A and B are shown apart, each in its own frame.
Chain A
Amino acid sequence: MSTTKASRIGEELWKTRVDKINAELVTLTYGTIVAQLCQDYDSDYNEVNKQLDKMGYNIGMRLIEDFLAKSNVGRCANFRETADMIAKVGFKIFLNISPTVTNWTSDNNQFSLIFEENPLADFVELPDDGRAQDELWFSNIFCGVLRGALEMVQMQIEAHFVSDVLRGDDTTEMRVSLVRYIEDEMPPEEE
């Protein structure tokens, strides 16, 4: 499946199958979640990153069912297709954005998602405490969501942010690597 086809599917689903809600309610709700974590973990931002990733993982394992139920798409033939599916269909139907897929490694196992827009981080400024801009990945929940969702469709991946405009970087970029296809989860195919 081509990138343009994935984009078309995403656009179509967003228009016809997705119940909408005021974006600001979502943005504010995510903000209050991060703020609560910073409070609970005493601004230990590394721990906050971990917790956000964990929350995302929990969400991802559930969100994948919603993605599949709404999109009715089949299994991807390769990791490149998976990347387009995430960027052009997944992010589109949940957050109405389509991050750019780029910077593939030659083995087609690693790519970057570049976020032009990020509704979760809208109107956000990190605390000016000399640490947050170096330690906190505000949108780290995305990494967990991808990890949880893909694990449910038998892909073990690793994801992390490498830059964020909230930190003063010029781009917001997430790196996604395929670790392996999980075969033992499937009923025994080879004897």
Chain B
Amino acid sequence: MSTNDYLVLAGTFHGVHAITRTITPRIPVPSPPSSTSTTSYAFPNPGIPATGLEYLETEKFRLTCFQTLTGTKFLLFTDPLTTNIDVVMRKVYELYADYVMKNPFYQLEMPVRCEAFDRHLGGWLRGRT
């Protein structure tokens, strides 16, 4: 896939993700932890917000979405049988925090092109297999 394809995919996914969040049925919080039940309606913060689409699966592959609290989303394509995807996701997030966020030549919101990120992620993945 070209960079452009990735961008289109990310954009499409983002839209679908947002929609799945809005259509998440809302259940009244059964027992509010404190007396903030009236304000909790106004903010999306308290409690656990709707997560939106978490994975897409076909016969040949599975697309998993991991969203951080900042709204950054990581999409991972794997074999549908792959296990421990959450472990991979956490590692990807850590490497992203190190080799992308701490790189002065990476501009926020731009496609990630960081050689050290690719190298370390590749090295880590090879070490797992």
A-to-B contact residues, CB < 8 Å: 61-66, 68-70, 72, 74-78, 152-154, 181, 183, 185-189, 191
User: Cβ of B21 and Cβ of A189 under 8 Å apart?
Assistant: yes
- Chain B residues with Cβ below 8 Å from A181 are 43-45
B101 touches A66 (CB 8 A): yes
Contact of A62 among B22, B34, B46, B102 (CB under 8 A): B102
CB pair B90–A72 under 8 Å, yes or no, is yes
Q: How long is the Cα–Cα vector from A187 to B43 in the complex, in angstroms?
A: 13
CB < 8 Å neighbour of B97 from A69, A77, A78, A188: A69
A-facing mask of B13-37, CB < 8 A → 1, else 0? 0000110011000000000011010
Highest count of chain B CB atoms <10 Å: which of A72, A78, A185? A78
With A153-B69, A189-B50 as known contacts, state yes or no: A65 contacts B96, CB within 8 Å. yes
Residues of B within 8 A of A76 (CB): 45
A154 to B49, CA, bound (A): 13
Contact A187 B18 (CB under 8 A): yes
Query: Is B38 interfacial (CB 8 A cutoff)?
Result: no
Number of B positions contacting A (CB below 8 A): 30
Name the distance in Å between B23's Cβ and chain A's nearest Cβ: 10
Of B33, B52, B69, the contact of A187 (CB 8 Å cutoff): B52
Q: A153 — which chain B residues lie within 8 A by C-beta?
A: 69-70
By the criterion CB–CB under 8 Å, are A77 and B45 in contact?
yes
B45 touches A188 (CB 8 A): no
Give the CA-CA distance A78 to B42 in the complex, in Å.
13
CA distance A68 to B108 in the complex (A): 17
Q: Is the CB of B36 within 8 A of A78?
A: yes
Are B108 and A77 neighbours in the complex by a CB distance under 8 Å?
no
Interface 0/1 of B78-110, CB less than 8 Å to A: 000000000000100110111001100000100
Q: Which of B29-72 contact A (CB under 8 A)?
A: 33-34, 36, 43-50, 52, 68-72
Min CB–CB distance B3 → chain A (angstroms) = 22
Q: A77-B33, A78-B36 are in contact. Are A66 and B97 (CB under 8 A)?
A: yes
Q: Which residue of A lies closest to B26 (CB)?
A: A189
Known A72-B90, A154-B45, A191-B22; contact A62-B108, beta-carbon cutoff 8 A? yes
Question: Can you list 21 contacts pairing A with B, beta carbon distance less than 8 Å?
Answer: A63-B101, A65-B70, A65-B72, A66-B98, A68-B97, A69-B94, A70-B97, A75-B45, A75-B69, A77-B45, A78-B34, A78-B45, A152-B71, A185-B71, A187-B18, A187-B21, A187-B52, A188-B18, A189-B22, A189-B49, A191-B22
